[in-house]
Amino acid sequence: MITTDILIIGAGPTGLFAVFEAGLLKMKCHIIDALPQPGGQLAELYPKKPIFDIPGYPSVNAGELVDNLMEQIKQFQPGFTLGETAVSYTKVDDEWFEVVTNKGTVHRCKAIAIAGGLGTFEPRKPTFENLADYEEKGLEYFVKEPEHFRNKKVVIAGGGDSALDWSVFLSNVASEVTLIHRRNEFRGALDSVEKVQELKNQGKIKLITPAEVTGVKGDGKVEAITVAVDGQDPYDIETDYFIPLFGLTPKLGEIGNWGLNIEKNAIVVNNALDYQTNIDGIYAIGDINTYPGKLKLILCGFHEATLMCQSVYNRLNPGKKFVLKYTTVSGVDGFDGSRKEAEKAVVKKID
């Protein structure tokens, strides 16, 4: 069983920043996320695209922002349950909740902060028959462990950043990488497109366009895919793995059955105070919540995370007054024994 003060559901930017704000108040956090790595939409959908409305950053790539947030919270030693989704919660007593994931991992916490962005991300799947027969048997929707593909034949389908980036990465891991896209043009970062072109010229990536994968074959596992190239008869390509990367579809998932007030697929919260839901001790912050005047912006999620943490502190420490101090004055003490603080003023006489 994993025990923590605040259980955060969602490892996007809002959830990550909540770890920092909680840490300032000496509260421990653990994060659950359905994706195999932290960062939410930023890491999975557009890691190399710039964001222009983060205070203090005229421009910052989404992936860089995630890296910076991870570095910022490192001293507060958060725990992560990745590749799993929160399925159910139980109120154990007046102090504790228990949250169980789809893989049976049990988390015990004193408060729950739902920071799931647009919800649980589910992969957009191909539409051909017998798809489920090959899932996790050579048909993968995420690259969770690159070494799993060492010296294997891999076919990737898709035309966005994920398809391009994983094709580049796995070209140094797999014995053979084939990238298939239904168009000749790719919608991704220019440097990724150029890198795929370079690797194609070197013979490290096989590129098939315009084309579409129309089926999977194999006896109990993926052994080949069928590809239909524009204007040609379909043919088979032997492979050990097929990875369709067609993007993700957001859904509220099992959290929608928790008894929370839901409005247009978003969780209604009390924005006048602390972003708490209709269930005492459960909060919702970031894009997943709704209230009058709601704006789905990262900076708004940061603000909501800050006020949520203040509320949880009061919940965990009834009757104890918290005096807000700016980090420029108080410094930051990490749970790992580290300390960050501004240089102290020097008192010196000027002759």
Instruction: Say what angle helices 62-73 and 13-24 make with each other, to 10 degrees.
Output: 20
Cα atoms in the 13 Å half-sphere on the side-chain side of 259 = 8
Q: Is 328 known to sit in a ligand binding site?
A: yes
Q: Is 33 known to sit in a ligand binding site?
A: yes
Give 17-21 contacts, CB < 8 A, sequence gap 24+. Answer: 17/69, 17/72, 17/73, 17/301, 17/302, 17/305, 18/113, 18/115, 18/285, 18/305, 18/308, 18/309, 19/73, 19/76, 19/78, 20/69, 20/72, 20/73, 20/76, 21/305, 21/306, 21/308, 21/309
Q: Is 46 known to sit in a ligand binding site?
A: yes
Q: Is 14 known to sit in a ligand binding site?
A: yes
Q: Is 283 known to sit in a ligand binding site?
A: no
Beta pairing partners, 111: 6
Give CA–CA dist 192/159, Å, rounded: 11
Q: Judge whether 175 and 149 are in contact, CB under 8 Å.
A: no
Beta pairing partners, 225: 216, 237
Instruction: Categorise residue 110: left if φ over 0, alpha if ψ from -120 to 50, beta otherwise.
Output: alpha
Q: Is 121 known to sit in a ligand binding site?
A: yes
Q: Is 239 known to sit in a ligand binding site?
A: no
Give CA–CA dist 60/58, Å, rounded: 7
Q: Is 214 known to sit in a ligand binding site?
A: no
Q: Judge whether 237 and 179 are in contact, CB under 8 Å.
A: no
Enumerate the known binding-site residues for FAD.
14, 33, 41, 46, 86, 121, 287, 328
Enumerate the known binding-site residues.
14, 33, 41, 46, 86, 121, 287, 328
